Structure 1
Amino acid sequence: MQHWLASLLILITLSANVVRAQDVPPDRIAVLSWALAELVLELDIAPVGVADMAGYRKWVRQPALPEGVTDLGLRQEPNIERLADLAPDLILASDQQADLVPVLERIAPVWVIQGFDTAQDNAAASRTAYLDLAHLMGRETLAKERLATLDARIAAAGARVWDHFGGAVPPILPIRLLTSESLRLHGANSMALAALEGMGLQHAAPGRPTEWGFVQKRVEELALFDEAIVLQIEPFPEKDALYATQMWQFMPFVRGGRYAEVRPVWTFGGVFSLGYLADAFAEALVSLDPEAAR
């Protein structure tokens, strides 16, 4: 662990020194992480290359990738030749690509940023990474303005929910159904929880922090939540079959009108994903009958 932290500091220092030596921020940035791609785009910078662009457009979606960006292949196994051909000034990577750093350094300075981890507050760490990146790129004023707008957006989404419910909002349980038998419950250290907290809402069962902020549960375990509003983050192709089962029909949140589907939104993004999550959660919550849901 100490060796890895030392390497991380060396890489960050290397990137910063290159910028100062050139006296201008890096112009051509290649990104191997979806969450870091979000942060770059939120600085109004178009990266020259992004790993797994098809996956980004399917799952992350927002902010949209501009035209002219080169697909660098898989995030864990990027196309090194294609990356070298782009001649980037800087490569942004997460700890998931740590093993590739010696190879990537032959192409350009590499800035490795810690991704999701049990030992950190993932949402806070992404905010810090955004400000660090903004400093590197000479766009600190823009970054601070964007974060202030983000915080106001999240708070406004929460206010819409509080107004709709007339004050008292039941605790929220954000889930993503995986199969008719299993689901992910997004709790402590998740972007979903951070969004709910920013909205001033209560999570029904956050649990203990995990690396990615979720634990896997069986669908029948949802029956334990008598008073919570359950928010299912779409898509879930098997929902018609599950919804038709007697087990589902007798779930307390189904019978009590405390279940809503959330439009597709990425749950493992950077700090700006909190705004998309807050908006999507608010849309789903205000679709419920507040009297029935209490």
Structure 2
Amino acid sequence: MRTRRAFIATVVTLAAASSACGTTEAPAGPAPEASGPPVSVVDSRGKEVRLEHPAARVAATEWNAAEYLVSLGVMPAAVSDVRGYGEYSSAAPLDASVADIGTRGEPSIDALGSLDLDLVVVTGDLPEGALEQIEAKVPVVVIPGGNAQDPIGSMFSNVDLIAQATGTQDAAARLKSEFDAKVQAGRAAVRQAGMSGRPVAFADAYATAGSVTIRPYTRGSLVGAVFERIGLPTAWEMEGDPAYGLAQTDVEGLTKLGDVPFWYNATSGDPFAENLAGNPIWTNLPFVQKGEVHLLPGELWTFGGPKSMERFVDAAIAAVQA
């Protein structure tokens, strides 16, 4: 189960390892033509980043930034862990021209410097030293990975910032309009199904040596906030982490939920179906007894952008109509 993780390697280690991280091939086909007036944006550090023109060749070291770019109509020149992105973020696919720049936690600085980029978008997870190394080669905009205080607002703030840097403000406005329309349709479907206002528990899980760890998506999570927008508040009472609204529990922790629908997604295996099938605590939970356990499609990415969240609305509608 992939999780967001901080870049914990030291700058010295990063510099030494960068030559082995990812590939440095230039994208196939002609490079996007850069044009337009100078651009100035202020990123999440409060730093003003000045560009000679709207960025056309952009790299993303995190998948949320990559999805924002694709959704805005800017195919990234390079992304960390291209294959992994394709497995998790199906709402905004990359094309074959996108170069791989290593792992999300340890992108190749040498590769970033060799791709003739206008801009690199990173999250605040990168340590300051590594950020300085990248900025010595190419302009950098930093966005927050998440914000549990306002997950939807933070998502669109990121979209707007990248749109300003790439000159795609009209596309950003369309993304917001499409998202709002999807939420409105989801709210109507939930109301028609008689589910409006009923709490729902959404989670994922992973198994280690037969032990299942469950990750509740609390009210501070992006998915939890989207479900609440369509009339399905979270049943989780616990606090999540300040960035992504994720918490942690075990099967005993599920007994606190009561009689609520339980929704989950699974990308690598299905610990609920495979590891808990014979667990008496699991099998005696009210939602298991009543058949209100619903597996949402595994290709939905819980940390994605507006297009991924629209797919979660579709999945919620399918669940309440099942």
- The answer to which of 179-188 and 48-57 deviates more is 179-188
Which residue, out of 52, 64, 71, partners 2:81? 52
Supply the distance in 2 between the matched residues of 1:66 and 1:25 (Cα, whole angstroms): 21
Where do 4+ consecutive residues of structure 1 move more than 4 Å? Answer: none
Equivalent residue number for residue 134 of structure 1: 163
Deviation of 1:214 (Å): 1.2
Q: Could you tell me whether the CA contact under 8 Å between 2:236 and 2:257 is conserved in 1?
A: no
Q: 2:39 aligns to what?
A: none
Q: 2:316 and 2:132 mapped to 1: Cα distance?
A: 42
User: Superposition pairs for residues 78-117 of structure 1, below 5 Å?
Assistant: 78-99=107-128, 100-117=130-147
TM-score by length of 1: 0.85
Residue type of the partner of 2:206?
Answer: L
- Cα deviation, 1:237-266, whole Å, max 9, x if unaligned, reads 342342233332211111122211111111
Name which of 198, 201, 211 aligns with 1:170: 198
TM-score, length-scaled by structure 2: 0.78
SS in 2 for 1:97: coil
- 1:254 aligns with 288
Out of 302, 308, 315, the residue aligned to residue 267 of structure 1 is 302
Tell me which of 178, 183, 186 is aligned to 1:157.
186
- Give distance in 1, aligned partners of 2:136 and 2:191: 53
SS in 1 for 2:142: strand
RMSD after superposition: 2.1
What letter matches 1:8 in structure 2?
A: R
Q: CA deviation at 1:32?
A: 0.6
SS in 1 for 2:45: helix
| Residue identity (%) | 26
Q: Which residue of 1 aligns with 2:312?
A: 277
Contact 1:113/1:129 (8 A) holds in 2:
yes
Q: Which amino acid aligns with 1:72?
A: I
Change in CA separation of 1:57 and 1:8 when aligned onto 2, cut-off 3 Å: same
How far, CA to CA, are the matches of 1:181 and 1:108 in structure 2? 43
Partner of 1:181 in structure 2? 212
* Structure 1 residue ranges without an equivalent (≥5): 288-294
Q: Is the 8 A contact 2:190 2:196 kept in 1?
A: no
Q: How many residue pairs were aligned? A: 273
Deviation track 1:190-231 (CA, whole Å, cap 9, x = no partner) reads 011111122122211253352221110111221222221110
Contact 1:88/1:107 (8 A) holds in 2: no
| Counterpart-to-counterpart distance in 1, 2:235 and 2:57 | 44
**Displacement of 1:127 after TM fit?**
0.6
Q: Residues 157-236 of structure 1: matches in 2 within 5 Å?
A: 157-163=186-192, 165-166=193-194, 168=196, 170-179=198-207, 180-210=211-241, 211-235=243-267, 236=269
In the alignment, structure 2 segments of 5+ residues that lack a partner are 1-41
